[in-house]
Amino acid sequence: MLNKKLFYRFFLLLILTLFVIYYVTPLYVMIVTSLKTMDQIRGGNLFSLPNSINFEAWKIAWSGRGPGTSDTFLKPYFINSLIITIPALIISTFLGAINGYALTKWKFKGANLIFLLFLFGTFIPYQAILLPMARTLGFLGISNSPIGLILVHTVYGLGFTTLFFRNYYVSISDEIIKAAKVDGAGFFKIFFKILLPVSLPILVVTIIFQFTQIWNDFLFGVTFSFGESAPLQVALNNMVLTSASVKYYNVDMAAAIMAALPTLIVYILAGNYFIKGLTAGSVKG
């Protein structure tokens, strides 16, 4: 019987390892390709290791080939994404927190309906609002600027952030709020001194989620900006899509990795935390 158990165990580990290969392979291919020269790429195959570690492609992907050339490189668009992501992230998270707090700890008429409307809003396909939003941004004069995208991401992130905080605050005892009221603390005092200090878990989840959503966005970026004010993913796509005669696959791969690095790093550092937070919501429904 021991053999049977060992066999199952071995089989299990084999399958799990195969899946590791499945998930890691694209990343491996990206890294390996980005470190090769175009000759090596043409000569070798997808999986072959580079002859020598060559960061030339990375340099080009980041800052281009120098004056006189016209291809896209990532640096300015990376900065654009930073300018867009950070404010939108901060504003939507803060509003979500205070909304979640107000909706759960201060019962007022319609609170549940309002929450439902927020919840439903997170499911809508954005195609249903692209046109009116484009017109509104144009009307406000911010259609090709970071401010426009900050507005868009804040507005459409509100539903998620409110959802996260609301579900979290629902499970915090109401009696603590009552005790604070008896002690004479008001709306904001209770929020900042009592609730916020214990909100770290959900803050981390929300910030990671929002950062990933906004940083990885393409649809809003490509619809509401063009040219120099585009965010990173749009620039990446433009780079890869160039109908230039020669495709520099190593540069493409280097660019893709660089575009993915921020979210990847966040994920490696706090990923498990993030999953715990997210799945707690999903599983409960």
> How far apart are CB 64 and another protein at their closest, in Å?
18
Give the residue, chosen from 7, 10, 12, 49, that forms a contact with another protein under the rule CB under 8 A: 12
Q: Does 63 bind another protein (CB under 8 A)?
A: no
Kindly report the number of other CB atoms within 10 A of residue 191's CB atom: 19
Q: Quick one: 65 or 178, whose CB is closer to another protein? A: 178
Please identify, among the stretches 69-77, 82-90, 141-149, 234-242, the one whose residues bind another protein according to the rule CB under 8 A: 234-242
Q: Does 108 bind another protein (CB under 8 A)?
A: yes
> How far apart are CB 78 and another protein at their closest, in Å?
13
Q: Does 269 bind another protein (CB under 8 A)?
A: no
- Give residue for tokens 């709020």: 177
Please identify, among the stretches 52-60, 67-75, 142-150, 269-277, the one whose residues bind another protein according to the rule CB under 8 A: 269-277
For residue 212, the surrounding DSSP H or E stretch is helix 200-215
The closest alpha carbon to 92, from 30, 155, 141, 142, belongs to: 155
- Total residues at the site for another protein (CB under 8 A)? 106
Dist CA 22 CA 32 (whole Å): 16
Dist CA 194 CA 181 (whole Å): 11
Instruction: Pinpoint the alpha helices (H) of 35-74.
Output: 38-43, 56-63
Contact 242, 255 (CB under 8 A): no
Dist CA 121 CA 99 (whole Å): 15
Give the residue, chosen from 7, 10, 55, 120, that forms a contact with another protein under the rule CB under 8 A: 120
Give the residue, chosen from 41, 149, 150, 163, that forms a contact with another protein under the rule CB under 8 A: 41
Please identify, among the stretches 27-35, 55-63, 70-78, 140-148, the one whose residues bind another protein according to the rule CB under 8 A: 27-35
Q: Quick one: 67 or 175, whose CB is closer to another protein? A: 175
Contact 185, 194 (CB under 8 A): yes
At 63, give phi and psi (nearest 5°). Answer: -125, 15
Please identify, among the stretches 56-64, 72-80, 110-118, 139-147, the one whose residues bind another protein according to the rule CB under 8 A: 110-118
Q: Quick one: 67 or 108, whose CB is closer to another protein? A: 108
Q: Does 54 bind another protein (CB under 8 A)?
A: no
Stretch 143-202 residues interacting with another protein (CB under 8 A): 155-156, 158-159, 162, 173, 175-176, 178-187, 189, 193-194, 197-198
Handedness of CA 100, 101, 102, 106 (dihedral sign): positive
Two tokens, residue 151: 């507005």
Instruction: Pinpoint the alpha helices (H) of 141-182.
Output: 146-170, 174-182
Q: Quick one: 66 or 285, whose CB is closer to another protein? A: 285
Q: Does 233 bind another protein (CB under 8 A)?
A: yes
Give the residue, chosen from 66, 67, 68, 132, that forms a contact with another protein under the rule CB under 8 A: 132
Q: Does 139 bind another protein (CB under 8 A)?
A: no
- Give residue for tokens 């399958």: 15
The closest alpha carbon to 152, from 217, 96, 203, 76, belongs to: 217
Contact 120, 54 (CB under 8 A): no
Give the residue, chosen from 6, 15, 49, 90, that forms a contact with another protein under the rule CB under 8 A: 15
Q: Does 267 bind another protein (CB under 8 A)?
A: yes
